[in-house]
Structure 1
Amino acid sequence: MVSDAVSEAYFPHELRPREAHEPERSVDVAVTVVGQLRIARIGWGAEVAVRSDHPGAYGINVPLGGVLETTVAGRTVVSTSGLATVNPPDMPSDITRWSSGCTIVGVKIARDLVQREAVRISGDTDAQIPGQVDLSRPEAASWFRLVRSVATQPADDPLLANPLVADQLAASLTDAFLLAALPGPEAVGAPRPRIVTRVLDAMRADPARAWTAGDMAEVAGVSVRRLQEGFREYVGKTPRECLTDLRLRGVYDELAAGASDSVTDIAIRWGFTHSGRFASAFRKRYGLTPSQVMRET
């Protein structure tokens, strides 16, 4: 049954058609596995109701169109395009209406990964994730763009097949979601320059490391939000932007020095794993392609 394929791709569930059209004949399902996280695209092509307990993982459902009505613990959440419904793990969720025109991007994140990253993000051992996230907010929109970008990667992408890279990417996606979903804590003292210095020194020492926001915060000994506040106040950039600047400068210096390695090898050595994004960032920064810099030396 196609419903079984959806269960395997996302969550085990009970499907109940709400109209005469048979959803099994027109289901649309695709999945991208990223370590302890997976991204699924699901559309039934008919109006249905779905029940799931979401065992062991959070399920974040983002409608690309149509209507998704979900009831959890007596509370009903109605999401349309631009809103995400968050289903907690190990708790019955009833999607009482999944409209025929509704295709979702569903993000499944292991409960343990969310709990670990939530502590690193907020410093709170009992962070409460809301039942709905507004994707029009900048941080949430950025997270969803990243989700959709990862979902376009081919199934045989060697990077996703690498367990270390996949785990780091899953952590980055989880961090980005939590930054978008968790309410900002009250400020507790002003961030200090040493917070920024520690992280910059660590990034300079190991620029090719697959840094996540949680990794950077751990080095600084603060939450991710406090780290970001410190960078905004003392650098005027995010930690991620500083890391990209550091990596681009390293690549440029090697190319300008006449390094014998290929552009791809040098970029990978400095932590760039996506050639297209690297080339675009390099040209935007220096006004030249990496190959042009190499030829001019």
Structure 2
Amino acid sequence: MSVSFSPSSEPLRQHGRLRTRDVEVAQHVVAEVYEPHTLTPVDRKGLDARLNAVQLGGVTLGYLTYGTEAHIALPASEHWYHINITLAGSSLVTRENGDRGMTRGMAHAAMLLPHRAQTIAWAADAAQFALRIPRADLEGHLATLTRARVGGPIDFDLVVDLDSRAGRGLLRCIEFVRTEWDEDGVLARNADSRRQLESMILTNLLVAASGPHQALLQRTDPAPGPSTLKSALDYIHDHAGDLPTPADVAAATGVSARTLQLHFLNHLGRTPSQYLRDLRLRGVRDELLHPRSAGTTVTEVASAHGFHNLGRFSSLYKSVYAESPSETLRRSRAS
């Protein structure tokens, strides 16, 4: 993941919320987007605060930098988890229970908990992707993935290692979402796709962050019976147009998302997400082979089956069927 921080190419620039050298304005706007806090720059005259932010369902994703060394005090709120992915520079985060952790650019993220007060010592050259996630959404997603009761705040470890395999997956996920918004991609404008992107962020975050919740994610359920696979397949076929997430399918079949994924891999050689993608791809091919009218287009057929990025769809289609979707449609019309 490469990120450029020049003013002309900073992430999410077209979604700017804040450009100011005024401390009070910076604190007010950032508090409106994220949460009330106290901002104390070491050099008030050196402040150059910039915030670009977008909303993805319940998740807020923003690029934030202050341009000067600063101290931030964030009280406990009970409502939100905050994840600060350090892209450049560094920060020192301290929880009220005494936990301390240093984050460095492209190597670490900090998990800020809803039930703890936290302080952040922000380096002058620090820049971060700051995510705000509703507590109910993240805890509910963990419960859905694991089929376990989550009765209180998740006690994530303070620092997320972005050099780990799961950490790199989280970075790729965030970069993919950022690119869709920066390039005004259809995925960012389509409600069903935004829901998929939000679910992807929550899953990657839960997998990448360390803490007691990992015991739930790694727990192995009793082997599901044949009816589980049938129920999952029936659900996917019946709801393919709604683009169900793996968590949706797991909830419908009464097993954890991990158990369902292993069950699919063992019996079908693919994950539920891959099975759904292949099902949608076959639906597109059927319509291109038998177009409903002379005016049928590849774009409208692909979009109807949930493929909103035409470039990625065309590449996937060609890798499976050895011809482009437009070639399929032309051949069908010619015959």
2:22 aligned partner: none
- The Cα of 1:23 is off from its aligned counterpart by 4.5
* 8 Å Cα contact 1:54/1:87 also seen in 2: no
Residue 41 in structure 1 maps to residue 66 in structure 2: no
Counterparts of 2:111 and 2:180, CA distance in 1: 24
Aligned-partner SS, 1:208: helix
* 8 Å Cα contact 1:52/1:94 also seen in 2: yes
Q: For 2:93, give the aligned amino acid.
A: T
User: Superposed, which structure 2 residues align to 1:20-39 within 5 Å?
Assistant: 20=43, 22-24=45-47, 26-39=48-61
1:245 aligned partner: 278
- After superposition, the Cα gap between the structure-2 partners of 1:284 and 1:163, relative to the gap in structure 1 and judged at 3 Å, is closer
Structure 2 residue corresponding to 1:223, chosen from 237, 251, 256: 256
* 8 Å Cα contact 1:121/1:179 also seen in 2: no
- The Cα of 1:109 is off from its aligned counterpart by 0.5
1:64 aligned partner: 87
- After superposition, the Cα gap between the structure-2 partners of 1:12 and 1:274, relative to the gap in structure 1 and judged at 3 Å, is farther
> Which structure's CA Rg is the greater one?
2
1:85 aligned partner: 110
Q: For 2:37, give the aligned amino acid.
A: H
Which residues of structure 2 form unaligned runs of 5+? 1-24
Aligned-partner SS, 2:218: coil
Counterparts of 2:103 and 2:59, CA distance in 1: 22
Counterparts of 1:237 and 1:68, CA distance in 2: 40
Aligned-partner SS, 1:152: helix
- Percent of aligned pairs with the same amino acid: 27
* 8 Å Cα contact 1:62/1:84 also seen in 2: yes
Residue 233 in structure 1 maps to residue 266 in structure 2: yes
Deviations 1:65-117 (A, max 9, x none): 2212111121012222232211111421101x211222111111101111211
2:199 aligned partner: 171
- The Cα of 1:257 is off from its aligned counterpart by 1.9
- The Cα of 1:287 is off from its aligned counterpart by 2.9
* 8 Å Cα contact 1:22/1:46 also seen in 2: no
TM-score, normalization by structure 2: 0.79
- After superposition, the Cα gap between the structure-2 partners of 1:70 and 1:276, relative to the gap in structure 1 and judged at 3 Å, is same
* 8 Å Cα contact 2:88/2:127 also seen in 1: yes
Counterparts of 1:5 and 1:179, CA distance in 2: 31
Residue 278 in structure 1 maps to residue 309 in structure 2: no
- How many residues are matched? 294
- After superposition, the Cα gap between the structure-2 partners of 1:280 and 1:4, relative to the gap in structure 1 and judged at 3 Å, is farther
Residue 289 in structure 1 maps to residue 316 in structure 2: no
* 8 Å Cα contact 1:121/1:178 also seen in 2: no
User: Superposed, which structure 2 residues align to 1:63-142 within 5 Å?
Assistant: 63-72=86-95, 73-80=97-104, 81-95=106-120, 97-126=121-150, 128-142=155-169
Counterparts of 1:158 and 1:289, CA distance in 2: 20
Counterparts of 1:274 and 1:178, CA distance in 2: 27
Q: For 1:213, give the aligned amino acid.
A: P
- After superposition, the Cα gap between the structure-2 partners of 1:160 and 1:69, relative to the gap in structure 1 and judged at 3 Å, is same
Aligned-partner SS, 2:129: strand
Counterparts of 1:108 and 1:226, CA distance in 2: 29
- CA RMSD, 1 decimal: 2.5
TM-score, normalization by structure 1: 0.88
- After superposition, the Cα gap between the structure-2 partners of 1:128 and 1:238, relative to the gap in structure 1 and judged at 3 Å, is farther
- The Cα of 1:122 is off from its aligned counterpart by 1.8
Q: For 1:129, give the aligned amino acid.
A: F
Residue 148 in structure 1 maps to residue 186 in structure 2: no
Counterparts of 2:73 and 2:39, CA distance in 1: 7
Counterparts of 1:275 and 1:33, CA distance in 2: 23
